[in-house]
Structure 1
Amino acid sequence: MVQPFLFISPVFDSESFISDLRTFVPFDTLRSHLSSRNRELLDHINRDYADFANLSTKLVDIDATAGRMRAPLLELREEINEFRGSVEAARVARAIGLNQRCGAADAREVLESSLDAFRVVSKVEKLIQQQQDGASTTGTQSRLLERIAGELNRLKFHMTHAQNLPFTESLEKRIQSASVLFDASLRNCFIDGINNRDSKVLYNCLRAYAATDNTKNAEEIFRTTIVAPFIHKVIAHEAYAGTSGDELENDYRQIKHFFSKDCKMLLEISSTDKSGLHVFNFLANSILKEVLSAIQKVKPGVFSPGRPTEFLKNYKASLDFLAYLEGYCPSRSAVTKFRAEAICIEFMKQWNVGVYFSLRFQEIAGGLDSALTSASLVFIPDSDSDKRSSPVLMLGQSVTLLESLRSCWKEDILVFSAADNFLRLALQLLSRYCNWVSSAVDARKSNASLSPGCEWAVSATAEDFVYVIHDVNCVVSEVRGDYIGHISHYLSSCSSEVLDLVRKSMLQGVESLDNVLPLVKKTIIEVIVDKSVEELSQLKGIAATCMMSNKPVPIRHSPYVVGLLRPLKAFLEGDKARHYSTHETREELLLGTLTEMTRRYYELAAGRLSDARKTETYLQKSRQNAQKRAGAAASGVTDHNESGTEKMCMQLFLDLQEYGRNICALGLNPADIEPYCSLWKCVAPPDRQNTISV
């Protein structure tokens, strides 16, 4: 659809419009439409031709008409310009008048401020002279000083509004002299108020300092005149006397006693609610600042983490001292403000907890690493019960692990601010012990060079690995129980989310240790089976004996069968297995050992039997060929040789029955052991293969 506004557009192009329109309307249609438009135009002209012809006659004398209209318009423009000029002149005059008025007001204000400053200076000088000449009490002097402080505050305001004037500059010497006298008088009155424990005098003096915005001076006076002498007396005396070395606990105890006795009133006054004295921070800028300065000068060694035990003791004593100072803060916001003070931040920076943890890490982790890199297991005799941790552990490596884990959360080792690092260390200790156990298991299977601490596994007995399983179970039980409980108790101030994460991380750490137990049990099974397999070497003799032609049919089991399960029985009946392994573990080891032992028995017996059958088949074919060449003379020999395989099967069947009876004596049903069933089907007579009976 064609939009009408296109025809009145400045950029309308008829040719382009028609060219675009051809895509929608045929050219013939456009041509017929043009013809109809032309006819309509001619009809309009013919219909209104009279008006069209008279159009030119109506436009006569247009210039004269325009000239008559231009004259009044020009006159109106001149009047407007004149009015605009008068208005602008009035505006400029009014602006000048206002500027002059503002200047006069400013000059008057400066003059009044100058006169007020002169009057206030005179009044301050009079009050100071009155304060110095009078024999009034300290309370009266403090009230007078508070009044002077108010006047000085007013004077400061007036001097700010009358700067760079000769008159006010002439007052500066008088103001400076009055300020010096005021500061000296206020200082003396403030010190007298502290020494006499006069709360009214202290209130007045502190309000005077606050009014003159001179809080730093009050804090410095209190620090140098009251705090410093006692602090240096305590710390320097302890250091020079050598009674406590670099310990701070006794120093802090004396300082606390001094503050609670001689400084408590000032601290309580400065923290009084709605008193306007919250601008003072005597705790940080007077007390803590002087304590830090004295320690740095007299006992700088307390900040050295090179002696971890002393460092931690002093660090905790310092935290307790900070908590004591925070006890004077009236609100939580005041505590936050105290901790944000520069001197408080500087005090905490002196204690390099990161270096302290590094030293403890080397001490704890290094001790465990030394124990785990030993070439042999360290057994703890029953008589050395005092050396064991609870629960009872049998290996020195396990004892060292549990002691190292507990060291991470001992009061004389742990730093609460580094609790996350100590938690990570505990997890690393568990991981290191787990890696030690798994590496020892792998060492028995690998012929590669042994890593330090795994040498013992090559020659270790099954009983040695029983100790390992026992200790791993004890460690897992201890960590999941009392150890996590101890950590949770120590971190009780943390949120429940944090405690839950700590618990999950520790449980995950011991889970990896618990998962290594199946590998250790498998190693025990392999050790026992390796001993038992030595008896199976006698199967070679059975094959040779049974293939002899003059050998009668066997009627009893072979002697080697009795020795097959002797190592397993000795292991299960030994004191170590009975005392240091659970019933479930022994049952698991029994089934696993019998299964593996029977599997090897089956593979070896089936292999020997298969070789015998192949040999017998080959000999039979050879004899048959010989018979064909020599006649039937050797037929009797063939009958005897054909029974060799059957005699071997019978012997193996008798041995398997005895082996099954020995299994029953250990408390298991041979039919429940899959390799035993396979071997039974391999050697049993055809009529007995479906029923296993020993």
Structure 2
Amino acid sequence: MAADLLHSPLPKSATDLFGDPIEDSHPLWLNPSKFSDQEFDPESYISDLRTFVPFDTLRSELRSHLGSLKHELVELINRDYSDFVSLSTKLVDVDAAVVRMRAPLLEIKEKILSFRGSVEVSLMALQSRLKQRAQANEAREVLELLLDTFHVVSKVEKLIKELPSVPADWSSGSLNSAEKGHLSNGLSFQHIENGMNLRETQSMLLERIASEMNRLKFYIAHSQNMPFIENMEKRIHNASLLLDTSLGHCFVDGLENRDANAVYNCLRAYAAIDNMNSPEEIFRSTVVAPFVQIVIPHGSSRVVGVLSTDELEQDYERIKQYIRDDCKFLLDISFTENSGLHVFSFLANSILKEVLSAIQTGKPGAFSPGRPTQFLQNYKSSLDFLAHLEGYCPTRPAVIKLRAEAVYVEFMKQWNTGVYFSLRFQEIAGALDSELMITSLVPSQNTSNQQKNVQRLLLRQSISLMDCLRLCWADDVLVLSCSDKFLRLFLQLISRYSSWLSAGLNARRAKSTSTNTGSEWAISASPDDFLYIIHDLKCLVEEVCGDYLEHVLELLKMCPAEVLDLVKQSILHGGNSLRVLHPLVINLIVDTLVEKSVEDLRQLKGITATYRMTNKPLPVRHSPYVSGVLRPLKAFLDGERAATYLTSDLREQLLHGAANEITHRYYELAAELINMARKTESSLQKIRLGAQRRAGASSDVADHNVSDTDKICMQLFLDIQEYGRNLASLGIDATSIPTYRSLWQCTAPPDKQNTISF
């Protein structure tokens, strides 16, 4: 076998460039190094390759790789042949060596198993003992807990029994010598000799009992469902009731006598037993309710038949005074720093709760938004009252806690500002809408209105808009919590006014004869009436974007900067929506004046009848109608209203706009007239030539007389010269109007085409 391997042909060298293909080369998809991986799986490897390599090719490559491996094996054997041959000679008496090694190994295995068994037995015993120890500890803890519970219950009962030995009505703060010494409960009266009264001593004892009760609650919570504890429940319940009763009597006595130390100790006792409701309710019923009953009679004490208003401002002032006199004493104690008494909320659950109940029973109409003015007064007075209560809070967290109280939230829910805004919306929007429904523009004659900026407005509709806009942010209307709604109402009022004005302008421009509700005023309005609108629009824009904007921003100055920026943009947007209407009104005035001028311009059609088929000579003066073309514009500009309400810029804008439009219409009519005249003359000329041919006359006989078209053009030329002089009298250079230059070239004789002169 070795000889065969020795005589096997060696693999070709990689440098054999002209021989057979190199057998060691492999395609890229075949990686022989993966065959030596421990996790190599031939089946999965072949299945993966078969997805893109044909089976025959794969088999051929694997056989080729097998051949190369055999060549490598032969090469290795030939290289280390001596070692390979001597390998078998070294393997002598292997079985005997194995038998010799097996005996000690078995012996070690038996010892290990034996030792392992003993360790497991010891471990189980140790775990059993540990378990018993844990159970014993648990039982001891339970027993200690039960004993501590029993001792605490006994101690509480003993302390409670000694409470009657300290009379609650001791107020002199002195004891006789026989009573001085030591109480049976171990509480020394040494501190009494230093000036401490017996009420304070009783409160200290109650605080001590309360701390023991708190400890008792802890024990009960950790020993539930135990028969021993269940048998003591009656004793615990009785002790708790006696403590609550005694603590309540001591707390009331301390409030009545303004004993700060006694009240402080009682509150600490209540806090220790986690009972905040009792002192709040006691303070409400004994201190707050009597003076609130006096201020706002309610319930059975309310006198039937006595006329009472629902206004709350004076009631709140009296309640504030009572709070300063009767409640500040306890409030200062409850807000003592680092006292742990911050858990009480006497402001909300005692004072505000009683006030809310009194208003709901004695003055339920105070919360009704049906009378908006009174509702707003009561609402603002209530907010001021809440701010007064918050003033007693020493810190911001205390204010936040007060506002989160259920009574505080319930009190705020009583004020239905949404309904109030709806009523104000109907009132304000309805007032503007009723004014806009008037069928004519009505100048205001009311001089009693003392608002400086409103007096500048001329029309009732504009004054009504400004009044409504001011009402949105008036002190006797605005609710700051609804400021977003009032801002929206402001924009709606501006939009309503703009829509009313736009609808009227569109109806006037369309010359609608049908009844369009809200637009009748525009159909019947004269150009002078539209001057009122121009003036009012200017004043409204200046007011809204000026003082009105500053007033609103001042009211909302507490809002964030980004909110104020949005409010400012909204108001400026409303002012701009009015500003864009200004040129529309001017254009409508221009259109109206142009229509009146066109009525006179239409008389130029009579020029054709004057010179057609007549022997009149060439005209030498302008037509009479020319003087009336610019008369409506001049009369409008010379009028009293234009002089009063038109600024110089608006006057120039209106004048040039009207002049350009009138000249354009003049050019259209003149060009049409000349075109028609020339067509008519051409037709007549053809008829005359035909008649001459039939009569045998020479066809080349020309008529050297002036034609009717020339006469018409000459008349129009004289007319536009006069029209240019009239424009100059108004301050307009006719040559600056493009359509006038076109009109001149259309009518001027050939020798005057390039020179415009009047």
TM-score normalised over the length of structure 1: 0.91
Summarize the Cα distance change of 1:35–1:168 in structure 2 as closer, same or farther, 3 Å threshold. Answer: closer
Task: Please report how far the alpha carbon of residue 35 of structure 1 lies from its aligned counterpart in structure 2 after TM superposition.
Answer: 8.0
Residues 322-333 of structure 1: matches in 2 within 5 Å? 322-333=386-397
What CA deviation, in whole Å up to 9, does each residue of 1:476-523 have, x standing for no partner?
111011100110111011122211111111111211221121111111
Stretches of structure 2 lacking an aligned partner (at least 5 in a row):
1-27, 171-197
Task: Please report how far the alpha carbon of residue 261 of structure 1 lies from its aligned counterpart in structure 2 after TM superposition.
Answer: 0.7
Residues 317-466 of structure 1: matches in 2 within 5 Å? 317-381=381-445, 390-446=454-510, 447=512, 451-466=516-531
Task: State which of 147, 152, 162 in structure 2 corresponds to 1:120.
Answer: 152
Residue equivalent to 1:156: 217
Residue equivalent to 1:266: 330
* Distance in structure 2 (CA, Å) of the matches to 1:31 and 1:251: 110
Task: Please report how far the alpha carbon of residue 631 of structure 1 lies from its aligned counterpart in structure 2 after TM superposition.
Answer: 5.4
Give yes or no for the alignment of 1:7 onto 2:35: yes
The letter for the 2-side match of 1:109 is E
Summarize the Cα distance change of 1:75–1:224 in structure 2 as closer, same or farther, 3 Å threshold. Answer: farther
Kept in 2, the 8 Å contact 1:305–1:355? The answer is yes
* Distance in structure 2 (CA, Å) of the matches to 1:239 and 1:88: 92
Residue equivalent to 2:643: 578
The letter for the 1-side match of 2:530 is F
Residues 43-442 of structure 1: matches in 2 within 5 Å? 43=78, 47-48=82-83, 50-51=85-86, 54=89, 58=91, 62=95, 65-135=97-167, 136=170, 137-236=198-297, 244-381=308-445, 390-442=454-506
Residues 15-30 of structure 1: matches in 2 within 5 Å? none
Task: Please report how far the alpha carbon of residue 225 of structure 1 lies from its aligned counterpart in structure 2 after TM superposition.
Answer: 2.0
Residues 551-562 of structure 1: matches in 2 within 5 Å? 551-562=616-627
User: What is the SS of the residue equivalent to 1:467?
Assistant: helix
Summarize the Cα distance change of 1:604–1:42 in structure 2 as closer, same or farther, 3 Å threshold. Answer: same
What CA deviation, in whole Å up to 9, does each residue of 1:537-595 have, x standing for no partner?
21111122123432122111111111111111111111122212222111111111111
Give yes or no for the alignment of 1:594 onto 2:622: no
The letter for the 1-side match of 2:41 is V
The letter for the 2-side match of 1:201 is A
Higher mean C-alpha displacement, 116-125 vs 476-485: 116-125
Summarize the Cα distance change of 1:661–1:384 in structure 2 as closer, same or farther, 3 Å threshold. Answer: farther
* Distance in structure 2 (CA, Å) of the matches to 1:600 and 1:87: 124
Kept in 2, the 8 Å contact 1:532–1:565? The answer is yes
Task: State which of 662, 670, 688 in structure 1 corresponds to 2:726.
Answer: 662
* Distance in structure 1 (CA, Å) of the matches to 2:701 and 2:449: 76
Residue equivalent to 1:480: 545
Kept in 2, the 8 Å contact 1:239–1:245? The answer is no
The letter for the 1-side match of 2:737 is I
Higher mean C-alpha displacement, 445-454 vs 472-481: 445-454
* Distance in structure 2 (CA, Å) of the matches to 1:385 and 1:142: 69
The letter for the 2-side match of 1:693 is S
Amino-acid identity (%): 54
The letter for the 1-side match of 2:268 is R
Summarize the Cα distance change of 1:27–1:591 in structure 2 as closer, same or farther, 3 Å threshold. Answer: same
What CA deviation, in whole Å up to 9, does each residue of 1:50-92 have, x standing for no partner?
326547xx37663x55454444333333333332333233233
The letter for the 2-side match of 1:11 is D
Residue equivalent to 2:75: 40
Higher mean C-alpha displacement, 335-344 vs 158-167: 158-167
Summarize the Cα distance change of 1:110–1:537 in structure 2 as closer, same or farther, 3 Å threshold. Answer: same
Task: State which of 571, 589, 600 in structure 2 corresponds to 1:506.
Answer: 571
The letter for the 2-side match of 1:5 is S
What CA deviation, in whole Å up to 9, does each residue of 1:347-383 have, x standing for no partner?
2122222222122222212222222233222222376
* Distance in structure 2 (CA, Å) of the matches to 1:535 and 1:481: 45
What CA deviation, in whole Å up to 9, does each residue of 1:297-349 have, x standing for no partner?
33233222222222222221111111111111111111111111122122212
* Aligned residue-pair number: 690
Task: Please report how far the alpha carbon of residue 169 of structure 1 lies from its aligned counterpart in structure 2 after TM superposition.
Answer: 4.0
Residues 611-650 of structure 1: matches in 2 within 5 Å? 611-630=676-695, 638-640=703-705, 642-650=706-714
Task: State which of 536, 561, 574 in structure 2 corresponds to 1:496.
Answer: 561
Residue equivalent to 1:568: 633
More helix by share: 1
* Distance in structure 2 (CA, Å) of the matches to 1:363 and 1:345: 29
Higher mean C-alpha displacement, 325-334 vs 624-633: 624-633
Summarize the Cα distance change of 1:174–1:38 in structure 2 as closer, same or farther, 3 Å threshold. Answer: closer
User: What is the SS of the residue equivalent to 1:571?
Assistant: helix
Kept in 2, the 8 Å contact 1:379–1:396? The answer is yes
The letter for the 1-side match of 2:253 is D
* Distance in structure 2 (CA, Å) of the matches to 1:344 and 1:635: 113
Stretches of structure 1 lacking an aligned partner (at least 5 in a row):
none
What CA deviation, in whole Å up to 9, does each residue of 1:208-233 have, x standing for no partner?
11112111211111122222232233
* Distance in structure 1 (CA, Å) of the matches to 2:303 and 2:428: 32
What CA deviation, in whole Å up to 9, does each residue of 1:615-651 have, x standing for no partner?
11221222223233335699999444x4322221221
* Distance in structure 2 (CA, Å) of the matches to 1:67 and 1:293: 105
What CA deviation, in whole Å up to 9, does each residue of 1:144-194 have, x standing for no partner?
222222222233334445555554444433333332222222112211222
User: What is the SS of the residue equivalent to 1:278?
Assistant: helix
Kept in 1, the 8 Å contact 2:597–2:630? The answer is yes
Residue equivalent to 1:677: 741
* Distance in structure 1 (CA, Å) of the matches to 2:84 and 2:105: 38
Higher mean C-alpha displacement, 96-105 vs 669-678: 96-105
Summarize the Cα distance change of 1:309–1:27 in structure 2 as closer, same or farther, 3 Å threshold. Answer: closer
Summarize the Cα distance change of 1:22–1:30 in structure 2 as closer, same or farther, 3 Å threshold. Answer: farther
User: What is the SS of the residue equivalent to 1:390?
Assistant: helix
Kept in 1, the 8 Å contact 2:509–2:588? The answer is no
Summarize the Cα distance change of 1:65–1:445 in structure 2 as closer, same or farther, 3 Å threshold. Answer: same
* Distance in structure 2 (CA, Å) of the matches to 1:634 and 1:382: 83
* Distance in structure 2 (CA, Å) of the matches to 1:7 and 1:177: 87
What CA deviation, in whole Å up to 9, does each residue of 1:100-143 have, x standing for no partner?
33333333333333333333333333333333123453222222
TM-score normalised over the length of structure 2: 0.84
Kept in 2, the 8 Å contact 1:623–1:638? The answer is no
* Distance in structure 2 (CA, Å) of the matches to 1:601 and 1:385: 48
Task: Please report how far the alpha carbon of residue 669 of structure 1 lies from its aligned counterpart in structure 2 after TM superposition.
Answer: 1.3
User: What is the SS of the residue equivalent to 2:343?
Assistant: coil
Higher mean C-alpha displacement, 567-576 vs 351-360: 351-360
The letter for the 2-side match of 1:445 is R
The letter for the 2-side match of 1:223 is R
Higher mean C-alpha displacement, 439-448 vs 40-49: 40-49
Kept in 2, the 8 Å contact 1:663–1:669? The answer is yes
* Distance in structure 1 (CA, Å) of the matches to 2:267 and 2:529: 77
Task: Please report how far the alpha carbon of residue 664 of structure 1 lies from its aligned counterpart in structure 2 after TM superposition.
Answer: 1.3
User: What is the SS of the residue equivalent to 1:605?
Assistant: helix
* Distance in structure 2 (CA, Å) of the matches to 1:239 and 1:417: 36
Summarize the Cα distance change of 1:34–1:49 in structure 2 as closer, same or farther, 3 Å threshold. Answer: closer
